């Protein structure tokens, strides 16, 4: 649950996309996968995450800290994959 400052979900997604493309540029990737317009803020338990995905996979996940700052995750909760991408294939 966000405490400060109050930021809309749309603004969080925009900020996450900006961070995603900035990171890709720093890593030298000239044409990273494009996040879909259905990328969104998802709540798992008490925490909020911005999930960027396309039709095939999750591209990046950012945790929304209490102060509104986004932190990119290397490993994210498994629940995120089943919430947005459907059941995991074995």
Question: Minimal CA–CA distance to 60: which of 87, 45, 29?
Answer: 29
How many domains are contained in the chain?
A: 1
Residue 88 has pLDDT above 80, yes or no: no
Asked, for residue 28, whether it belongs to a domain, the answer is yes
Strand pairing report for 58-64 and 47-53:
antiparallel
User: Which range of residues forms the domain containing residue 72?
Assistant: 9-85
- Give the global pTM: 0.83
pLDDT digits (tens, 9 = 90+) for 60-72: 999 999 888 999 9
The closest of 73, 31, 33, 66 to 51, measured between CA atoms, is 73
Residue 54 within a domain: yes
Cα(5)–Cα(19) distance, rounded to whole angstroms?
19
- The span from the CA of 31 to the CA of 24, in Å, is 8
> Would 47 be classed as within a structural domain?
yes
φ, ψ dihedrals at 57, nearest 5°: -160, 165
Is 3 a member of any domain?
Answer: no
């Amino acid at each position: 649950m966000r405490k400060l400052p109050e930021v809309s979900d749309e603004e969080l997604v925009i900020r996450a996309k900006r961070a995603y493309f900035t990171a890709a540029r720093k890593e030298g990737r000239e044409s990273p996968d494009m996040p879909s317009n259905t990328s969104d803020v998802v709540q798992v338990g008490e925490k909020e995450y911005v999930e960027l995905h396309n039709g095939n996979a999750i591209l990046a996940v950012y945790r929304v800290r209490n102060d509104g700052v986004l932190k990119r995750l290397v490993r994210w909760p498994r629940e995120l994959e089943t919430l947005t991408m459907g059941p995991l294939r074995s």
